[in-house]
Amino acid sequence: MKIQKILNNNAVVSTKDKQEIIIIGRGIAFNKCLGDDIQEQQIEKIFTLENEDIQNKFKTLITDMPIEYMEISERIIAYAKMKLGKKLNDSIYIHLTDHVHFAIERYKSNLPIKNGLLWETKHLYKDEYEVGLEALNMICEHFGVILPEDEAGFIALHIVNAELNEEMPVIKAMTNVMQDILTIVKYHFKVDFNENSLTFYRFITHLKFFAQRLVKGNHYDKANDDDLFNVIKEKYPEAYKCTEKVKKFIENNYKYELTDEEMMYLTIHIERVKKT
């Protein structure tokens, strides 16, 4: 492989199998010129980003970014993929690297930022939050910096963002919707959820995608299965009453009208989760 563009001393652009790639390695471009061969022993990471816009933003980011931040971001992302077993959108390489760099700079300047969604993040995205905590350990080990718990929450939200392929404002809005619904269910039945149960996990997963549709203004296509909907209402009357409360709250606060299909599935999940 040959150097086609030098981004900085530690990053170059090349091609492999007719596809543009970004190659990271300490000193990989030092005293090099365009067209020079890339020394394989210096290669630490090869990025093949499918989206051209993301690729261009990534090039811009790493042009002036110290390699240490690229290395720690890659470690965190690799751990997240292994731990969660999920595909993450390539945009996380940009957003997480930039966030970690900014967080450490803020720490050094004694300018911490409080995470207003920390409590919600810990409860709604437990697995991602655990990854965030491990990321803080990696950052401490790599930079000798002890970042506050708030940053584990921020990192978790970046991971959720990459899972759902949404922008951060959408993720924050979704989190608020989910917490609102959980609060309504909790107080309607006067129960505390078993957050370690499979039923609660399924409910959170359902709410996550419901909130995504709500925030983006999308709906289920109406199934027109009125008979099944009526059966669910009669079988789970108390859960349906709770769903009606949710429906009214959502309409008043988010100007979003739940379909019968959404009402039906929400009732089923509420019936299950109230028993855990």
pTM of the model: 0.78
* pLDDT digit string, tens, across residues 153-199: 999 999 999 998 888 899 999 999 999 999 999 999 998 888 888 88
Same domain, 159 and 198: no
- Sorted by sequence, the CB contacts under 8 Å of residue 99 that are 6+ apart come out as 154, 155, 158
Residue 224's pLDDT is 58
Domain count, the chain: 2
Structural domain includes residue 55:
no
Instruction: Categorize the per-residue pLDDT at 82 as very low, low, confident or very high, splitting at 50, 70 and 90.
Output: very high
Q: Amino acid letter at 77?
A: I
- CA distance linking residue 88 with residue 133, whole number of Å: 18
Model pLDDT, residue 148: 95
Q: Is residue 242 part of a domain?
A: yes
| Alpha carbon distance 130, 123 (integer Å) | 11
| 90, 182: one domain | no
> Tell me, what's the pLDDT at 225?
64
pLDDT at 237: 95
**211 and 182 within one domain:** yes
Claim to verify: residue 94 and residue 154 sit in the same structural domain: yes
Domain interval for residue 99: 70-164
- ∠ CA 184-185-187, rounded to 5°: 70
